[in-house]
Every structure is written in structure tokens, then in C-alpha cells.
Amino acid sequence: MAKSKFEYVRAFESEDRCLQNCWIVVRIDGKGFSKFSDKHGFTKPNDDRGLRLMNRAAQEVMAQHRDIILAYGQSDEYSFVFNKGTNTYNRRASKLMTTVVSLFASTYVMQWPQYFPPDTMPLQYPPAFDARVVLYPTNTNLRDYLSWRQVDCHINNQYNTIFWKLVQEGGLSPRDAQEKLKGTLAADKNEMLFTDFGTNYNELPEMFKKGTVLVKEKETTQITCTIPPKPSSSGDNADGEPQEQQKIINKTISKIAHLHVDIIKNEFWKTRPHLLGDES
């Protein structure tokens, strides 16, 4: 079609291709989710439905982007790791972060009623998320990034668990609870939790303590097939009817697993060497 005299404005767009051979992380964060969770009656300090809805939205993103090798989520944030060699959208940062964040948001809203039944808690208003792209040149840098997020999950969860116990069961005001926790160490908090509220931190759900890791895992199932008999080429088969045969086939399908495991230590990575691959 004809080009207009206004078309020169395209030249004002800028390139934003990510450096080659770096891990590309897209991290999204809920915008104003403290208010959002209040308005929607989220359980404190962790709302199981809310977290699983986040996981559900992340799964959709991962299913549609085959170059995402792993996603990690906790609280109102999710990180998606694109393979360092990906050419998705020509590695353009804008395209990567906006398609990820918009698909996440639209899935979050679409799946809301599956996690918050409409008769109990309809969605009050549309949520927003921000997103950023961060590049990590080496496997160590990438693992340290993910470790940083999982440590963050752990520290926040530990703090929030005892904080809300003090408020909900201990009768303290939020300010007093905050004051009481100032300067306490991890061990102090666990002790307080156990002594004052009979709660063993280690027995809390793994999803709360470790967040959620999404990885694509191959699953092999055995399928029994019935193979119809070959029609005999000549009619002189004295032995009677040709017979059906049974055959067992191994079928491999790729599934997105939701794990609540430690990704800081080596074990997770050693058992999944394909995730990071060789460095070069």
C-alpha cells in the first residue's frame, strides 16, 4: 500500500537487542499488590489461591515460549529465564518483556475465577504488572540471580510468618509487631514462632518457604497399541485367520512441572544438566 509522507516517523524507533550469548531474564512484579491483596481478601502472610494463580499464569507464558528454560516465582513476582541463545523476537528487549507481561496479566485475569470462585470473590479491578529485562553473562551469574530471589523469598516469608502471628493471634498492632521484630535474627524468629505460637517453621508448606520453580520435564508413558493383521497376499493361508498384534510404545511428552525445591544448592542443577548446558 502507498506510503504516506508521515512515515518518516518510523526512524525515531530505536533498537534494543539484548547482547548475544547472555541469559535473558524477564522479571515481572505486581504493581500495587499490597492494596490488591487487601481488596481481594488474600490470606496473610501467604494466600495459597493467589500463589497458585500466579503459577498458573506463569505456566501459560512458559508453554507459549519454548525458549524459556525455567521460571521462578514467589510472592507477587515471577522471573522467566530465556535460553542464552534464543532468537525470540530477534532478542529485542521490548518485545520480550511486553509479550511476557501482557500474556501473564491476561491469563491471571482469565483464570481468576478458577482460584477465586465468582460467588465468593469476583475480581474487583484489573491488576497491572511491571517487567524488566536483565542480562546475565555466565551460568554462575544466572544461578546467583535465582539464588538471590529464593533467599529473598525465604527471608520475607520468615519475617511475614511471625509478623502476622503476632498481629492475628498475639493481638499486637502492626506497629508493635514491627517493633518487636526489629533486630531479631532468623533463629530468634523461629524460636518465637515455636514457643509463642506452637508453629514449627520447617513444617510450613514448601511453596511458602521456597517459592515455585517451573521446568519442562519429559514424561514417558507406555501406550499399548493394537496393530491390525496384514491382509494375506494370497488366499492360501491354511493356518486360518491372520491375527491382531499388541505392541507397547514409549511415548515421551513434555510437561511443565511445578516444583517447590531448593535451587541455591548444586543438587537441583546437577540432576538437570540440560538446563544450563556447557559454558562457552
Out of 44, 49, 52, 138, point to the residue binding a second copy (CB under 8 A). Answer: 138
Which among 80, 97, 69, 91 is positioned nearest to 20, based on CA atoms? 91
9 lies in the binding site for a second copy (CB under 8 A): yes
CB of 163 to a second copy, least distance (A): 12
> Which listed residue (107, 157, 161, 212) binds a second copy by CB under 8 A?
107
* Per CB under 8 A, 266 contacts a second copy: no
CB 137, CB 117: distance < 8 Å: no
User: Closest by alpha carbon to 175, among 187, 157, 163, 189?
Assistant: 163
Instruction: Output the smallest distance, CB 272 to a second copy, in A.
Output: 19
> Do 24 and 90 meet the contact criterion of CB atoms below 8 Å apart?
no
Nearer to a second copy, 128 or 257 (CB): 128
Quick note: the x/- pattern for a second copy over 149-178, rule CB under 8 A, is --xx--xx--x-------------------
Min dist CB 142 to a second copy, Å, is 9
Cβ–Cβ < 8 Å for 148, 264: no
Of residues 35 and 217, the one with the C-beta less far from a second copy: 35
How many residues form the binding site for a second copy (CB under 8 A)? 68
Say whether residue 17 binds a second copy (CB under 8 A).
yes
Instruction: Compute the distance between CA of residue 154 and CA of residue 4 in angstroms, rounded to an integer.
Output: 56
Q: What minimum distance in Å lies between the beta carbon of 160 and a second copy?
A: 11
Contact between 125 and 94 (Cβ < 8 Å) = no
48 binds a second copy (CB under 8 A): no
User: What's the first-to-final CA gap in the chain, in angstroms?
Assistant: 46
Binding to a second copy, residues 111-130 (CB under 8 A):
123, 125-130
Q: Which residue in 82, 74, 70, 90 sits closest to 135, CA to CA?
A: 82
Contacts of 223 (CB under 8 A, 6+ apart): 248, 249, 250, 251
CB 254 within 8 A of CB 217: yes
Q: Which of residues 61-90 bind a second copy (CB under 8 A)?
A: 64, 89
Contact 59, 44 (CB under 8 A): no
Interface stretch with a second copy, choices 131-139, 167-175, 207-215, 223-231 (CB under 8 A): 131-139
CA torsion 270-273-276-280 (nearest 10°) is 110
Q: Does 183 bind a second copy (CB under 8 A)?
A: no
Q: Which of 41, 49, 135, 201 binds a second copy (CB under 8 A)?
A: 135
Bond prior to 113 in cis (omega within 30° of 0): no
Which among 136-144, 210-218, 220-228, 239-247 is the span making contact with a second copy, rule CB under 8 A? 136-144
Dist. CA 91–CA 84, nearest whole Å:
10
> Would you tell me which residues interact with a second copy (CB under 8 A)?
1-2, 4, 6-17, 19-22, 28, 31, 60, 64, 89, 93-95, 97-99, 101-110, 123, 125-138, 140-141, 144-145, 147-148, 151-152, 155-156, 159, 279-280
